[in-house]
């Protein structure tokens, strides 16, 4: 058996290639949208990708099932209860598929979504399970959240009830030595306590996973429905789009270079300018109206949190990163990239009246400003799980992904300081407020941790 886990750090997303060397037959499970790595690895191993298997309708990324099917002729596989606009094969609970010696057993495990399923992998039909691909049903250290809006028509409690049964009747019945391979790891908004580990075993999860250690159904349901992080705004968009026919991604085609005049004309019609540089470089100088979402961080996730899914997008990136920025947005289905600023630094140099600096305060500078200004508006853009451990006194708590919808709760004419945990999200949030007409906006270097350390040492 050939078994490969692919891990995409910026989306905390795991996908898998499983092949049988005796027959050359292979499948890909939960693929990302840019598929070149699967194709090259399969070709190098002498494998033919015959099936593209989805454990459920993903909400946090746009899956590559259509791209892989078009490139290989593979059949797309979902649970038999899933409904799609495109042709696919539905597999029943308990159905077994043979690749040769390697077999795949499908177990319906609803709870995270109604159509969720897991895949038990055996190296031979009569062998104990090698592992189980659990999708978003069981994570390392957590279980899939049952409250996402992608599960339209089902309540949070209905899905939590189904999730309890799926875990205890379908997954925990596997031998303790069975390896657990989930679709996501730490950082994903599909759960609240995901581990940085990328695999585990059923036995380890029985012993350590807080949700599996719940003594009864009621306790379990209470545990898994409370304290979940806010879902990024693009989740519902992707959950719906993953069911649909849609254009295919050409991951080799770079975005079109745009002059500043062309970009400004598009922005006047509603396009948004995303600056993918670091917060530090953005602060030194950027084009007016730009929103800063750095490529070095969770670029697609935060772009999808603050940029609507129905607007055109213009990119400003370091030269050479244009294609990466376009493809990373395509991973969440944000395909409306109409171009990138040509010669970005030359453009800013030639048009100084259309550029600005961004104010970033050290914790000491923030404390001074806080004590001198009675009207200072302080905004904490961390998630509720983070703010529960403490905030700067008087701060208004609005998670960064909710800021576009809730900016009216703030006063645009009042000096504003934004902070997060380290400085990445606060730069995103501060640029969103400036783009929305807030005149005096700063963020705090080092975030809450740096402020807390400064305050404690004072």
Question: Can you give the C-alpha Rg of the chain in angstroms?
Answer: 24
What is the phi/psi pair of residue 88, to 5°?
A: -155, 165
Of 56, 408, 426, the closest CA to residue 278 belongs to: 426
Confirm whether 10 is a catalytic residue. Answer: no
* Residue 24 backbone class (left: φ over 0; alpha: ψ -120 to 50; beta: rest): left
Q: Which of the following is catalytic: 190, 340, 397, 420?
A: 420
Contact 339/263 with Cβ under 8 angstroms?
yes
Lookup: tokens for 156? 């949070």
Lookup: tokens for 203? 């036995």
Laid out side by side, the sheet with 441-444 consists of 359-361, 441-444, 416-419, 377-380, 396-397
Contact 115/153 with Cβ under 8 angstroms?
no
Separation between Cα atoms, residue 276 and residue 383, nearest integer Å: 22
Secondary structure tally for the chain: helices H, strands E: 16, 24
Contact 401/305 with Cβ under 8 angstroms?
yes
What is the phi/psi pair of residue 188, to 5°?
A: -70, 140
Contacts of 350 (CB under 8 A, 6+ apart): none
What is the phi/psi pair of residue 160, to 5°?
A: -60, -40
Chain centre distance of CA 254: 23
Helix (H, G, I), strand (E, B), or coil: what is residue 290? strand
Separation between Cα atoms, residue 1 and residue 198, nearest integer Å: 20
Separation between Cα atoms, residue 269 and residue 250, nearest integer Å: 26
Kindly list the catalytic residues: 420
């Amino acid at each position: 058996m050939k078994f490969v886990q692919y891990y995409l750090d910026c989306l905390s997303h795991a996908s898998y290639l499983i092949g049988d060397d005796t027959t050359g037959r292979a499948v890909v499970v939960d693929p990302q949208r840019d598929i070149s790595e699967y194709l090259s690895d399969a070709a190098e191993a002498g494998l033919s990708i015959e099936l593209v298997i989805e454990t459920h309708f993903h909400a946090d990324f746009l899956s590559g099932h259509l791209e892989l099917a078009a490139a290989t002729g593979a059949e797309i596989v979902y649970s038999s209860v899933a409904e799609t606009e495109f042709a696919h094969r539905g597999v029943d609970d308990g159905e077994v598929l043979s690749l040769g010696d390697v077999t795949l057993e499908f177990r319906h495990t609803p709870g995270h979504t109604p159509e969720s399923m897991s895949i038990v992998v055996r190296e031979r039909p009569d062998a104990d399970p090698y592992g189980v691909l659990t999708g978003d049903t069981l994570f390392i250290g957590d279980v899939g959240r049952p409250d996402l809006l992608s599960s339209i028509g089902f309540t949070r409690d209905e899905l939590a009830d189904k999730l309890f049964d799926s875990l205890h009747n379908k997954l925990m019945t596997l031998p303790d030595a069975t390896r657990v391979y989930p679709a996501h790891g730490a950082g994903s908004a599909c759960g609240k306590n995901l581990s940085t580990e990328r695999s585990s075993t059923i036995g380890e999860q029985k012993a350590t996973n807080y949700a599996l250690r719940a003594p009864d159904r009621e306790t379990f349901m209470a545990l898994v429905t409370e304290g979940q992080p806010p879902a990024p705004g693009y989740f519902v968009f992707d959950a719906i789009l993953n069911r649909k026919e849609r254009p295919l991604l050409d991951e080799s085609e770079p975005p079109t270079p745009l002059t500043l005049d062309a970009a400004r004309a598009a922005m006047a019609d509603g396009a948004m300018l995303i600056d993918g540089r670091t917060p530090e470089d953005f602060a030194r100088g950027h084009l007016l109206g730009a929103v800063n979402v750095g490529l070095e961080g969770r670029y697609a996730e935060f772009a999808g949190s603050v940029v609507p899914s129905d607007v055109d997008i213009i990119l400003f990136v370091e030269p050479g990163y244009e294609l990466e920025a376009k493809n990373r947005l395509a991973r969440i289905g944000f395909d409306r990239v109409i171009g990138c600023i040509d010669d970005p630094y030359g453009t800013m140099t030639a048009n100084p009246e259309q550029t600005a600096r961004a104010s970033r305060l050290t914790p000491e500078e923030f404390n001074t400003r806080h004590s001198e200004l009675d009207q200072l508006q302080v905004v904490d853009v961390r998630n509720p799980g983070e703010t529960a451990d403490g905030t700067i006194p008087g701060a208004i708590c609005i998670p960064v992904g909710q800021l576009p919808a809730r900016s009216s709760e703030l006063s645009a004419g009042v000096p504003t300081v934004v902070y997060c945990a380290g400085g990445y999200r606060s730069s995103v949030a501060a640029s969103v407020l400036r783009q929305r007409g807030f005149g005096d906006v700063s963020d705090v270097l080092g975030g809450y941790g740096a402020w807390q350390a400064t305050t404690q040492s004072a």
